[in-house]
Amino acid sequence: MGYFVTAGFMVSMYIFETYLDMRQHAAHKLPKLPKTLEGVVSQDKFVKARAYSLDKSHFHFIHGAFTIVLEATILLFGVLPWFWKKSGDFLLYTGFNADSEICHTFAFLGGFMIWSQITDLPFSMYSTFVIEARHGFNKVCKPILQTICLFFRDMLKGIGLSIVIGPPIVAAMITIVKLGGPYLAIYLWGFMFVLSIVMMTVYPILIAPLFNKFTPLPEGELRQKIENLASSLKFPLKKLFVVDGSTRSSHSNAYMYGFFKNKRIVLYDTLIQQCKDEEEVVAVIAHELGHWKLSHTMYSFVAVQHIITPLQHLVSFGLNLVSRAFEFQADAFAQKLGYGKSLRAGLVKLQEENLSAMNTDPWYSAYHYSHPPLVERLSAIDESDRKRD
Predicted confidence (pLDDT) per residue in 6-50, tens digit? 778 888 889 999 999 999 999 999 999 988 888 888 889 899 999
How many Cβ atoms sit within 10 Å of the Cβ of residue 229? 19
Q: Kindly tell me the number of DSSP H helices and DSSP E strands found in the chain.
A: 15, 4
CA–CA dist 110, 128 (Å, integer)? 25
Task: Report whether 219 belongs to an annotated binding site.
Answer: no
In this prediction, residues 321-327 reach a mean pLDDT of: 87
Of 81-95, 209-223, 237-251, give the lowest mean pLDDT range.
237-251
Residue type, 370: S
Architecture of the domain made up of 214-387: 2-Layer Sandwich (3.30)
Q: Which residues are catalytically annotated? A: 288, 331
pLDDT recorded at residue 80: 85
Task: Report whether 313 belongs to an annotated binding site.
Answer: no
Q: In what order do the strands lie in the sheet with 237-243?
A: 214-216, 237-243, 263-268, 254-257
pLDDT tier, 56 (very low <50, low <70, confident <90, very high otherwise): very high
Predicted confidence (pLDDT) per residue in 299-315, tens digit? 666 557 444 445 666 77
Predicted confidence (pLDDT) per residue in 191-241, tens digit? 888 888 888 888 888 888 888 888 998 898 889 999 999 899 888 888 898
pLDDT recorded at residue 26: 95
pTM assigned to the model: 0.80
Inter-residue contact 264 to 274 (CB < 8 Å): no
In this prediction, residues 71-89 reach a mean pLDDT of: 86
How many Cβ atoms sit within 10 Å of the Cβ of residue 289? 25
pLDDT recorded at residue 112: 86
CA–CA dist 285, 230 (Å, integer)? 9
Supply the DSSP string of 8-55, one letter for each residue.
Answer: HHHHHHHHHHHHHHHHHHHHHT-SS--GGGBTTB-HHHHHHHHHHHHH
Alpha helices, H only, 266-361: 269-274, 278-293, 296-302, 309-334, 340-353
Give percent of the chain with pLDDT exceeding 90.
Answer: 18
Q: What is the mean pLDDT of the chain?
A: 84
Inter-residue contact 113 to 159 (CB < 8 Å): yes
In this prediction, residues 153-160 reach a mean pLDDT of: 86
Residue type, 298: M
pLDDT recorded at residue 140: 47
pLDDT tier, 64 (very low <50, low <70, confident <90, very high otherwise): very high
**Per-domain residue ranges of the chain:** 139-211, 214-387
pLDDT recorded at residue 27: 94
pLDDT tier, 145 (very low <50, low <70, confident <90, very high otherwise): low
Task: Report whether 327 belongs to an annotated binding site.
Answer: yes
